[in-house]
Amino acid sequence: MTKLLQWLFGVSLLGALWALVTFDLLDLSLPQTYREVAWPMPFYLLISFGCYSLATVGYRVATFNDCEEAAKELQEQIKEAKEDLRRKDTAEFSSCAGRRSLVECSATFEEICSLF
């Protein structure tokens, strides 16, 4: 709740400042250019936030890695687990210890399925 109050306080402070400059509430006789810059500020902040979000998403898409080494390691582990199971001749799930980290990697579900 305190975080919400903090945000509300900040937003209302900024809004008050914006109204002060845009509508010249205190008769500061600011130059006309200042007011011209000030009045689209909410839209400017919105556009800035949108651009930042878009750039972040784009950057993450561009630098998304495939964890090929981790996939190889897990395939080894799966092979070991399969051999282990064959030796024991049981269907114990405890041998599939690599499963949890396999999900963490970006290997697709079909790839996981094709290994079993």
| Residue 33 main-chain phi, psi, to 5 deg | -65, -35
State how far the Cα of 68 lies from the Cα of 98, in Å rounded to an integer. Answer: 15
Q: Which of 60, 86, 87, 100 binds another protein (CB under 8 A)?
A: 60
| Total interface residues for another protein by CB under 8 A | 26
Specify the stretch interacting with another protein by CB under 8 A; choose among 9-17, 64-72, 76-84, 86-94: 64-72
Question: Does residue 51 interact with another protein by CB under 8 A?
Answer: yes
Select 4 or 61, whichever has its Cβ closest to another protein. 61
- DSSP letter for 94, please: G
CB 106 within 8 A of CB 63: no
Select 33 or 94, whichever has its Cβ closest to another protein. 33
Length of the chain counted residue by residue: 116
Select 10 or 58, whichever has its Cβ closest to another protein. 58
Question: Does residue 57 interact with another protein by CB under 8 A?
Answer: yes
| Residue 40 main-chain phi, psi, to 5 deg | -85, 15
Select 66 or 76, whichever has its Cβ closest to another protein. 66
State how far the Cα of 5 lies from the Cα of 113, in Å rounded to an integer. Answer: 49
Neighbouring CB atoms inside 10 A of 90's CB total: 11
- Site for another protein, rule CB under 8 A: 33, 36-37, 40, 43-44, 46-48, 50-52, 54-55, 57-64, 66, 68, 71, 111
